[in-house]
Amino acid sequence: MNRYGLIVILMSLAACSGTRNYSDGEAFRADSRHSRDFSVAPDPVCEAARRVLLRDGYIVQPGAGERLIGVKEFQVDENQQAQLRLYVNCSARTAGSTLFVTATEEHFDIKTSRKSTSVGIPLLFPISVSNSSEVDAQVKVRGEMVRDKGFYERFYRGVNQELAR
């Protein structure tokens, strides 16, 4: 193998190692999944979004101004739970409003932590004192932004239906 081939292989390995820096991929381009323009004022659009979330079983946490957070939980199995969160912002624009929506899906699992302690001197004093405990805790095992365009389209369709009522 020649010297240049070895350099290319070493550079490739170096590029693949290390942690991924997600901020490098951010271009801040508009993405139709996350915003939709409406020809009505922000207040009715935000109210329609709130009703869509409530109608679908989300718990809606009011935010400051024209912001909402909708949360819905799903029991995956005995120890696992998933949670969908929708972050909704209504913003005024010249000829109406824009609805911004981002959704995240997070998964949680029950993890058991065991701790035991034993104190004693077996050769001199044959009695020892021990203590053990188990604690169950809910731990986030995965989380990511929802990228499915169909998910967002269904939400916007629901907002349009609510506005038409």
How does pLDDT run across 21-71, given as a tens digit for each residue? 777 777 777 778 899 999 999 999 999 999 999 999 999 987 766 899 999
Domain limits, the chain:
31-112+132-164
pTM for the predicted model, two decimal places: 0.72
User: Most distant CA pair in the chain: distance in Å?
Assistant: 87
Q: Is the pLDDT of residue 18 over 80?
A: no
- 72 or 14, which is more confident? 72
**Token duo for residue 132:** 């053990």
Picking from 130, 99, 135, the residue whose alpha carbon sits closest to that of residue 116 is 130
Cα torsion at 152, 158, 163, 165 (round to 10°)?
Answer: 180
- 132 or 2, which is more confident? 132
The set of residues, in sequence order, having a beta carbon less than 8 Å from that of 103 and lying 6+ positions away, is 84, 85, 86, 87, 145, 146, 151, 152
How many helices, marked H, and strands, marked E, lie in the chain?
A: 3, 6
Ramachandran region, residue 22 (left: φ > 0; alpha: ψ -120 to 50; beta: rest): alpha
What architecture is domain 31-112+132-164?
2-Layer Sandwich (3.30)
Q: For 138-162, how does the pLDDT look when each residue is reduced to its tens digit (9 = 90+)?
A: 888 899 999 999 999 999 999 999 9
115 forms beta bridges with: 133
